[in-house]
Structure 1
Amino acid sequence: MNKLQSKEMLAMPPAVDLSLEQLRVYKPELTKQDDFDDFWEESIKESKKYPINGELIPYDYPVKEVKVYNAYYNGFKGARINGWYILPLEADKNNKVPVLIHYHGYTGDKGYIQEYLKWVIQGYAVFAVNVRGQGGQTPDPAIYSQGGITGWMTLGILDKYEYYYRNVYMDCVRAVDFVCEKEEIDTEKIGILGASQGGGLTIAVAALDKRPKFAMPVFPYLCHFKRAMEMYQEGPYREFFEYFRRFDPEMKTEDKVFQTLSYFDGMNLATKITCPVLMAITLRDVICPPSTMFAAYNHMTCAKELKIYPHHGHEALPFHDEAMIEFARRFMK
């Protein structure tokens, strides 16, 4: 094997999905229902009925160059959403700062304060939101008319109005409402980001709210559900298989399940995004198959950039931070 052949092999994508050449042009047919836009307009209108009732509780953090708060606001249908709200020391109504809203991965939480200091030292505020019912301090008060598999993917799966992620997507949009009420925030400079589930939520918020100036999803989950289940190897897409095994072994409700999911599919939502997007995709990802992420990216018509990491999977990408820092500065400074 000569050096050229060796280099070519290193550049090749791993065999967990389609070839990179195929992925770059992978653009499956959308699964949008006829009332897709009406459904989301109705959901947003309903969401606006609830006052935010934002609350900030000071948190004693040993780094005195930042101000830290346990934040609370009313999410969809009054759910009380928790998160970290972190500010540069100089931020106030006379010195407004840009803000980054961070959404976390499946089963996770708002994380540790030090994770966000890399942004705060640059002059950004950060709002890290806990997803309802998962690993943080935000309960899920919603009532579902049927049972589901352990986890959250199948809660309310037979009714688009009842489905768990309708609540979550609206909670995440209302995080934008929360920061826009803050006098120290420059509301013309809002960015959104997250990885895995957080990446899927970033796509959803960018699609449903025009206030964010850019979005940075990292290996986004919740995209192209049909393909994700066909390609399933590891991760929470397993919940759908367990749902059918336990409640519907003949899969009589399969069409209804995928109809519900179509409203929450990042591939369908991606078509509504108008702000610039920086997406990261890893080609060894067996939790969020690369083709599902390319399906969303390739349907975006906004200004967009893509970082591809051929030899990484569903894992931390600390080196990608530099790309995000550079991208954010274009819109925030």
Structure 2
Amino acid sequence: MALFDLPLDALRGYRPRLCEPDDFDTFWEKTLIEARGHELNARFEPVRTPLTAVEVYDVTFAGFGGHPIKGWFLHPAGAREPLPLVVEYLGYGGGRGLPHTHLLWPSAGFAHFVMDTRGQGSGWGGGDTDDPVGGGPAYPGFMTRGIEDPRAYYYRRVFTDAVRAVEAARSHPLADATRTAAVGASQGGGITLAVGALVPDLAAIAPDVPFLCHFERGATLTDSHPYREIGSFLKTHRGRQGQVFRTLSYFDGVHFAARGRAPALFSTALEDQTCPPSTVFAAFNAYAGEEKHIEVYAFNGHEGGGSCQEEAQLRWLPERLARR
């Protein structure tokens, strides 16, 4: 696949002027206050598995609207003292799956929390969390659910769940709340950017080929899903483009990036037609933290660096999560 986006030199300086809602911060402040009106009620139930080097807990906590959200909490077997904590968010369509698919971080000595994404988990990695909130007309998928009103939009619920997931994971006695990182790839990377802004005391974030950034460019540059869901919705609902992109502006990773402060390790791939590199660089260039780095994979698509990026994270995170 040939390169299709801006040249790398142009990407490194790409800073689009996006329309940020005047009430962006107020919107999220009120959303989280409302969510915290429900008891977190985080429950960690031990799970017997064939794994011998890792202990596993089935987790339930109250997310947006007090709705029950599932997750896995894993840590190295025999741990007795609080460990640095990695909270992970999943890619589009996936669910938390089975515990043995999440061994990377506990094998490296971290406590690890994996949040199930509400309503997802039938594309890969089975999910166990319902989304009980309905919405208006939508194109199949998740991108346009409630898209004409930011208060009803699907990702308002998901991003709120993600903040509450950090709070739930930190409540476990083996999690060191002062040494917490958020990580995720694709959709999980976009969620990571939101959490990096909404949870200001994180020690690090690592958004890998992040989705949910610079929506208007993503929706008009690539024919690939999930961004194409927006165009398909507008193809039928003619004349609603202004309202749709106004809603999405409350959820744009570029706006969250401008509020992030923790050290950040991004990645992008120049042949990625799912999350085009200009959408990722828009967020990276806007990122407000003093320490930030982006790994660029020149001849890869949405798989990005794959295991090479995992290795980069394994080398980078321990230093940021060293005991303070």
For normalisation by structure 1, the TM-score amounts to 0.91
Report the counterpart of residue 273 of structure 2 in structure 1: 286
What is the CA distance between 1:30 and its match in structure 2?
2.6
Question: Which one has the largest radius of gyration?
Answer: 1
Report the counterpart of residue 160 of structure 1 in structure 2: 150
Report the counterpart of residue 219 of structure 1 in structure 2: 209
Task: Give 4+ residue runs of structure 1 displaced > 6 Å after superposition.
Answer: none
Mapped to 1, the partners of 2:140 and 2:223 lie a distance apart of 18
Question: Residues 92-136 of structure 1, C-alpha deviation per residue, up to 9 Å, x if partnerless?
Answer: 4xx111111110000011244334323212221111111100011
Query: Which letter does structure 2 place at the counterpart of 1:81?
Result: I
Query: Which letter does structure 2 place at the counterpart of 1:220?
Result: P
Does structure 1 conserve the Cα–Cα contact (< 8 Å) formed by 2:220 and 2:231? no
Query: Which letter does structure 2 place at the counterpart of 1:326?
Result: R
Query: Which letter does structure 2 place at the counterpart of 1:309?
Result: Y
Does structure 1 conserve the Cα–Cα contact (< 8 Å) formed by 2:69 and 2:129? yes
Report the counterpart of residue 3 of structure 1 in structure 2: none
What is the CA distance between 1:91 and its match in structure 2?
2.8
Matched, 1:130 2:116: yes
Report the counterpart of residue 328 of structure 1 in structure 2: 317
Of the structure 1 ranges 112-121 and 45-54, higher mean CA displacement relative to structure 2 is found in 112-121
Question: Which among 156, 166, 171 is matched to residue 161 of structure 2?
Answer: 171
What is the CA distance between 1:295 and its match in structure 2?
0.4
What is the CA distance between 1:14 and its match in structure 2?
4.5
Matched, 1:140 2:131: yes
What is the CA distance between 1:151 and its match in structure 2?
0.9
Where do 1:284-323 residues align within 5 Å? 284-302=271-289, 303-315=291-303, 317-323=306-312
Report the counterpart of residue 28 of structure 1 in structure 2: 16
Question: Which among 226, 238, 243 is matched to residue 256 of structure 1?
Answer: 243
- The percent identity for this pair of structures is 38
Question: Which among 88, 91, 94 is matched to residue 76 of structure 2?
Answer: 88
Question: Residues 34-81 of structure 1, C-alpha deviation per residue, up to 9 Å, x if partnerless?
Answer: 111111111111111111111222222112221111111111101111
CA root-mean-square deviation: 1.4
Question: Which among 197, 200, 212 is matched to residue 187 of structure 2?
Answer: 197
What is the CA distance between 1:15 and its match in structure 2?
2.0
What secondary structure sits across from 2:87 in the alignment?
strand
Of the structure 1 ranges 167-176 and 234-243, higher mean CA displacement relative to structure 2 is found in 234-243
Query: Which letter does structure 2 place at the counterpart of 1:140?
Result: D
Does structure 1 conserve the Cα–Cα contact (< 8 Å) formed by 2:86 and 2:113? yes
Report the counterpart of residue 97 of structure 1 in structure 2: 83
Question: Residues 127-174 of structure 1, C-alpha deviation per residue, up to 9 Å, x if partnerless?
Answer: 111110001101001132x12111111111111111110000000000
Equivalent residue pairs, number: 315
1:166–1:27 Cα change, 3 Å = same
Question: Structure 1 stretches of 5 or more lacking a match?
Answer: 1-12
For normalisation by structure 2, the TM-score amounts to 0.94
Mapped to 2, the partners of 1:153 and 1:122 lie a distance apart of 34
What is the CA distance between 1:197 and its match in structure 2?
0.2
Question: Structure 2 stretches of 5 or more lacking a match?
Answer: 122-126
Mapped to 1, the partners of 2:180 and 2:242 lie a distance apart of 38
Of the structure 1 ranges 222-231 and 175-184, higher mean CA displacement relative to structure 2 is found in 175-184
What secondary structure sits across from 1:153 in the alignment?
coil
Mapped to 2, the partners of 1:206 and 1:234 lie a distance apart of 27
Mapped to 2, the partners of 1:253 and 1:191 lie a distance apart of 38
